[in-house]
Amino acid sequence: MLVAAQRGDADEALRRHSTVVRREGWRRLPAEYRGAYLVDVARAYLQVGDLRGAARALVDADSIAPAEVRCRPLARTVIADVARAQPVPAGVARLATLVGLTR
């Protein structure tokens, strides 16, 4: 999934994502890995213009590994990008406030 996203093929990355999270080993990964992965998924959703998908991935990542979302610079960037949408998805508005992007 990540390789496809890094190549700029977000559509392929998102197709692979649905397979990855259904695999048995997904839940056995450390929470930090799953959280970081979901931040990358949010970025892929942004690349295809799916703000709702990006917001959902960020909120899921925060529920799994809050530190990955609240402290990781890439996550803050993705949160800021999604938070620019109008209206801002509620979960992302909360995250933007938590990481200090809004007041």
DSSP states of 3-72 as a string? HHHHTT-HHHHHHHHHHHTTSGGGGGS-HHHHHHHHHHHHHHHHHTT-HHHHHHHHHHHHHH-HHHHHH-
For residue range 33-68, what is the model confidence (pLDDT) as tens digits? 999 999 999 999 998 999 999 999 999 999 999 999
Q: What is the pTM of this model?
A: 0.85
Number of domains in the chain: 1
Give domain status of residue 43, yes or no.
yes
Distance between CA 27 and CA 79 in Å, rounded? 24
- CA–CA gap between residue 47 and residue 1 (Å, rounded): 14
Assess if residue 103 is contained within a domain: no
pLDDT higher at 51 or 6: 51
Largest pairwise CA distance in the chain: 40
In a domain, 57, yes or no: yes
Please return the burial class of 49, using the count of CB atoms within 10 Å of its CB with bins 0-12, 13-18 and 19+.
Answer: exposed
Q: Let me know if residue 25 belongs to a domain.
A: yes
Q: Which domain holds residue 28?
A: 2-98
Residue 38 lies in a domain: yes
Chain segment 12-42, per-residue pLDDT in tens: 878 888 888 888 888 899 999 999 999 999 9
pLDDT at 3: 47
